[in-house]
Structure 1
Amino acid sequence: MRHPPPDVAEGICYGSSDVPVDATKLDACLATMRARLADRLGDAVPAVMHASPLHRARIAALHLALPYDLPVREDARLAEIHFGEWEMQPWQDVVRAELERWAEDPEHGGAPGGESAAQVASRLAAWLAATRAAGESAESGGPHVVVAHAGPIRLLTAHVLGLPVLGCLRWPIAFGGLCRVTIGADGRGQLVHWNV
């Protein structure tokens, strides 16, 4: 699930900056997220609640975990892409030549001092591999719920579905949106829901 809306001015590149949530939209978004999660889980009970350590994801995960009496497992590998020198800068102030270099190679390029999409995809794949290696699967104890960010959700989905790194780059996901994938014992994934 994608986190609730952040409290940051429009047009600001905030990536991995730990910006707060928009307090005026938090309660409504959390109510929608709880309803979406309950609807998609049906009778299933989540086994684990994972979250990016960034406040906007962590706060939602803490609220979603309460009805299930679950602890929240924070992992920095679930954080949004780090935009380096562009963090907290207006997009309009970013040097145009740097943006053009990134546009030429969106998979491997990026902001000076920041991460590329390939680097984020690599850390997400490592998180997933570690989670699976620990013997944690939906079959052994219920679904895992992850509260993260649009970029990591798209990149992790592409990885699970065996698509190119940027295969889901343009797939929309709203704040509070839910995506569901299943992963078989063979590691193959299947998309069940996107942005519901």
Structure 2
Amino acid sequence: MEIYLIRHTTPDIVKGLCYGQTDLDVIDTFFQEVEQIKPHLPATITTVYSSPLQRCSKLANVLFPTHTITYHAHLQEINCGDWEMQHWDEIPKQALQPFLADFVNVAMPSGESYIDLYNRVTACFNQITKQPKPIAIVAHGGVIRSILSHITNTPLIEAFNVFKLYYGCVVKIMTDNNEGLTYQILHNVLPLQPEQHKPSVL
């Protein structure tokens, strides 16, 4: 069992904007980030899956130019609904409070909760694991955290603290000695500017 989870490179987005399924492009360091990712991927990868959003599809096409890439909607980032492309600090506090109090179970207006994301991602992942290996999955931070939470039985509420995953990270999933699944972070570079996925003041 070898599955490589690859997070997209740095998106072209102003810090503090709420984005999930908005189809963002990537910044001009893309090819530099790609070169940092490549050494951590084996030449033997057989099967490639990707989120259809361009920040992932661009990376998948550059990393695997000779492969047939399967794009799957269930590998998209969380749907932020009415909050897509709003600045976190400008969303009314009364609207934010229920979600911030229980983001695992409470959905963003017209969007998803973390458990919604987790359920669709893990259903997709369980199907992907049946395909020829090694496998690469090019996806988003929320998607990769959902998969790692799934294989390690980590409570979703702890996922952001347990799994520090930066743009362009590469995580290898493999079989452990008990025939379960474990993971190893192969590449994970701290960005110069930290990401912001919640209000700056709570």
Q: TM-score, normalised by structure 2?
A: 0.83
Gaps of at least 5 residues in structure 1 are none
1:117 pairs with one of 114, 117, 130: 114
User: Which SS does the other structure have where 1:50 is aligned?
Assistant: strand
Measured at CA, do residues 120 and 72 of structure 1 come closer, stay the same or move farther in structure 2, by a change above 3 Å? same
- What count of residue pairs does the alignment treat as equivalent? 181
Q: What corresponds to 1:90 in structure 2?
A: 87
Q: How does 1:1-196 map to 2 (within 5 A)?
A: 1-22=6-27, 24-37=28-41, 41=42, 45-66=44-65, 69-132=66-129, 135-136=130-131, 141-170=132-161, 171-183=163-175, 188-193=180-185, 195-196=187-188
Taking CA–CA contacts closer than 8 Å with sequence separation of 6 or more, which of the two structures ends up with the larger relative contact order? 2
Residues 172 and 195 in structure 1, CA contact (< 8 A), matched pair in contact too: no
CA deviation map 1:40-98 (0-9, x unaligned) = x3xx60111111000000100111112xx211111010100010010011111111122
Question: Distance in 2 between the 1:94 and 1:194 partners?
Answer: 36
What one-letter code is carried by the residue in structure 1 that aligns with 2:38?
Answer: R
Structure 1, 157-166 or 9-18: larger mean CA deviation: 157-166
Q: Which moved more, 1:52-61 or 1:165-174?
A: 165-174
For 2:157 and 2:37, the matched residues in 1 are separated by: 26
Contact 1:51 1:75 in 2 (8 A): yes
- Return the letter of the residue paired with 1:94: I
Amino acid at match of 1:61: A
SS of the equivalent of 1:182 reads strand
Q: Percent same amino acid among aligned pairs?
A: 25
What's the Cα RMSD here? 1.8
Deviations for 1:104-140, whole angstroms, at most 9, x for unmatched residues? Answer: 11211131011010011000111022223xx31xxxx
Give the alignment's TM-score, normalised by structure 1: 0.85
2-structure distance, mates of 1:121, 1:83? 14
Bigger mean CA offset, 165-174 vs 107-116: 165-174
Q: Residues 155 and 169 of structure 1 are in contact (CA less than 8 Å); yes or no, is this contact kept in structure 2?
A: no
Tell me the SS of whatever aligns to 1:145: strand
**Is the 8 Å Cα contact of residues 2 and 149 (structure 1) preserved in structure 2?**
yes
Structure 2 SS opposite 1:175: coil
Q: Is the 8 A contact 1:15 1:82 kept in 2?
A: yes
Contact 1:20 / 1:55 at 8 angstroms: preserved in 2?
yes
| Residue ranges of structure 2 left out of the alignment (5+ in a row) | 1-5, 189-202
Moved runs in structure 1, 4+ residues, more than 6 A? Answer: none
